């Protein structure tokens, strides 16, 4: 009997020590919203909450990776000096006038004029354009992708890399260790045998100390060929229907001009983070086809600030007439929700375009919890169908477009390495507006009164899912 009392006492003491320790430890190392969620979990189930927090509670990277990113950012700032003559100065009073210096301080890249940008929203045509560019390479091919599947597209990508490497072209490939695990498992030896230099990003496992938290991912999608042409956007190296029942719709920017060197610098930075090898980046020449001003926005846990979240919140606040946000996953932080609410209440047309189908059940439930507040203040929400709208972009007034790999969720803002291309150009925004209009033509509008009539159990489930998304 005494032994049972002693055991119960020890468990009680341990529970309260964990709770008190969590109260002192967690708020100093997590965002307030995340800290509240973790403290709630630890308070309910201390013996489960503590190990989960130690494993997943803080988006930490190894000191080596943070140091290398800092070194890479410094090198990027210095490496742009020869391009100073191409630096673009935005007109005073414009959205770009405040955005350009913010993005420059966050991500290290200046805005450059002299670029040509073409938006590709046809899945197969975009993929074929990339494969043709690789097939025509003369010097080097650099691919940086989150996902590569072992499907027909994976086979085509590997085949073109084999042909290109056989011609003596230097081919380097970076693939996320988790997102591309099927492609890495099937094609690693084949690509290496062909002379392609291949590395898995954020491998984790037994190398976690030199990597970081287990669920950190490199979510970027970038291709650079011969310092001449580059691709950036939302499309992975996989068939459109790689998730059964959810055929993807994407948007990719094909670019020429000096911004190509900046995309090359992002690839070189990630190559350095993974290998320690420094790659030379050759400044690209201005395009003769167009004179679009562009700027890169890299973000991720290696940076001191949430670059993507801060920039998107600023763009929404700066909008004067209209802002359109397109994303497959919408579980943003309070800053984005607040910016959208303030913009809508100020008379700005705020249009949110989401996918009616979603391959992430928990994420879908969490984003539903955001709808009522936004609808109540005048934000328009449209659910695109058919298929899965996986494109990630936004447009502000008639002046600024952002396209890349950035979802409007906390994972993209805090855990993933992402990249976005800012285009300060009315023609590019007009092209994006046409694509947005095409989405809206096949979309269901969410009405506030109808949404409020959903069952109480759904409200509860959505609220729990929204809370769970803050565990980071």
Helix, strand, coil share (%) of the chain residues, nearest 5 = 50, 20, 30
Which residues on adjacent β-strands are paired with residue 350? 323
Phi, psi (rounded to 5 degrees) for 458: -70, -40
Residue ranges of alpha helices (H) inside 377-425 are 410-414
Sign of torsion, CA 449 451 457 462? negative
**List of long-range contacts for 434-438, beta carbons under 8 Å, 24+ apart:** 435/119, 435/121, 435/251, 436/324, 436/326, 436/351, 436/353, 436/395, 438/121
Establish whether the linkage from the previous residue to 63 is cis, with ω within 30° of 0: no
pLDDT number for residue 61: 77
| Dihedral, 167, 170, 176, 181 alpha carbons, nearest 10 | 30
Contact by Cβ (8 Å): 335, 313: yes
State the helix-helix crossing angle for 307-318 and 95-107, rounded to 10 degrees.
170
pLDDT number for residue 182: 96
Low-confidence stretches of the chain (pLDDT < 50) are none
Tell me how far apart the alpha carbons of residues 379 and 39 are, in angstroms, rounded to a whole number: 32
Q: Which domains does the chain have, with CATH numbers?
A: 2-56 (no CATH), 63-292 (3.30.870.10), 307-468 (3.30.870.10)
Spell 126-158 as b/e; 16+ CB within 10 A means b. Answer: bbebbbebbbebeebbbbbbbbbbbbebbebbb
Burial class from Cβ neighbours inside 10 Å (0-12, 13-18, 19+) for residue 22 reads buried
CB atoms within 10 A of CB 192: 12
Tell me how far apart the alpha carbons of residues 83 and 227 are, in angstroms, rounded to a whole number: 14
pLDDT number for residue 5: 58
Nearest residue to 319 via CA among 239, 202, 399: 399
Burial class from Cβ neighbours inside 10 Å (0-12, 13-18, 19+) for residue 413 reads buried
What's the length of the chain?
A: 472
CB atoms within 10 A of CB 252: 26
Nearest residue to 366 via CA among 376, 354, 379, 377: 354
Contact by Cβ (8 Å): 176, 146: yes
Contact by Cβ (8 Å): 440, 353: yes
Q: Which two tokens stand for residue 272?
A: 């350095």
């Amino acid at each position: 009997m005494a032994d049972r009392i002693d055991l119960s006492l020890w468990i009680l003491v341990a529970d309260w020590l964990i709770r008190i320790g969590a109260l002192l430890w967690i708020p100093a190392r997590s965002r307030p919203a995340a800290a509240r969620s973790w403290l709630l979990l630890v308070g309910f189930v201390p013996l489960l909450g503590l190990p989960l927090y130690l494993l997943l509670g803080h988006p930490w990277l190894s000191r080596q990776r943070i140091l290398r990113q800092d070194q890479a950012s410094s090198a990027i700032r210095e490496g742009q000096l020869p391009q100073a003559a191409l630096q673009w100065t935005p007109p005073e009073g414009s959205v770009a006038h405040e955005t350009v210096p913010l993005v420059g301080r966050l991500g290290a890249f200046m805005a450059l004029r002299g670029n040509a940008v073409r938006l590709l929203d046809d899945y197969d045509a975009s993929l074929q354009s990339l494969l043709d560019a690789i097939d025509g390479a003369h010097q080097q091919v650099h691919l940086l992708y989150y996902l590569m599947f072992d499907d027909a597209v994976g086979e085509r990508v590997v085949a073109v890399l084999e042909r290109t490497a056989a011609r003596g072209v230097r081919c380097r490939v970076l693939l996320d260790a988790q997102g591309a695990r099927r492609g890495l498992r099937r094609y690693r030896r084949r690509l290496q045998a062909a002379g392609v230099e291949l590395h898995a990003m954020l491998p984790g496992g037994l190398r976690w100390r030199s990597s970081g938290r287990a669920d950190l991912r490199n979510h970027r999608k970038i291709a650079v060929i011969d310092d001449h042409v580059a691709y950036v956007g939302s499309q992975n190296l996989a068939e459109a229907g790689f998730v059964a029942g959810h055929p993807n719709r994407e948007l990719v920017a094909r670019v020429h001009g000096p911004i190509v060197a900046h995309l090359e610098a992002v690839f070189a930075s990630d190559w350095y983070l993974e290998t320690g090898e420094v790659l030379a980046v050759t400044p690209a020449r201005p395009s003769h086809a167009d004179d679009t001003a562009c700027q890169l926005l890299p973000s991720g846990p290696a940076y001191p600030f949430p670059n993507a979240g801060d920039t998107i919140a600023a763009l929404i606040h700066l909008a004067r007439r209209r802002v359109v946000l397109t994303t497959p996953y919408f579980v943003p932080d309070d800053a984005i929700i607040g910016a959208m609410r303030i913009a809508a209440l100020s008379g700005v047309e705020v249009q949110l375009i989401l996918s009616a189908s979603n391959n992430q059940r928990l994420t879908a439930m969490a984003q539903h919890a955001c709808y009522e507040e936004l609808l109540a203040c005048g934000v328009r929400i449209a659910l695109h169908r058919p298929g899965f709208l996986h494109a990630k972009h936004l447009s502000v007034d008639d002046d600024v477009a952002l396209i890349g790999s950035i979802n409007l969720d906390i994972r993209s803002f805090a855990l993933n390495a992402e990249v976005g291309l800012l285009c300060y150009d009315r023609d590019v925004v007009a092209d994006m507006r046409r694509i947005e209009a095409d989405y809206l033509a096949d979309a269901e509008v969410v009405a506030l009164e109808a949404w409020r009539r959903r069952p109480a159990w759904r409200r509860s489930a959505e609220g729990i899912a929204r809370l769970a998304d803050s565990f980071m």
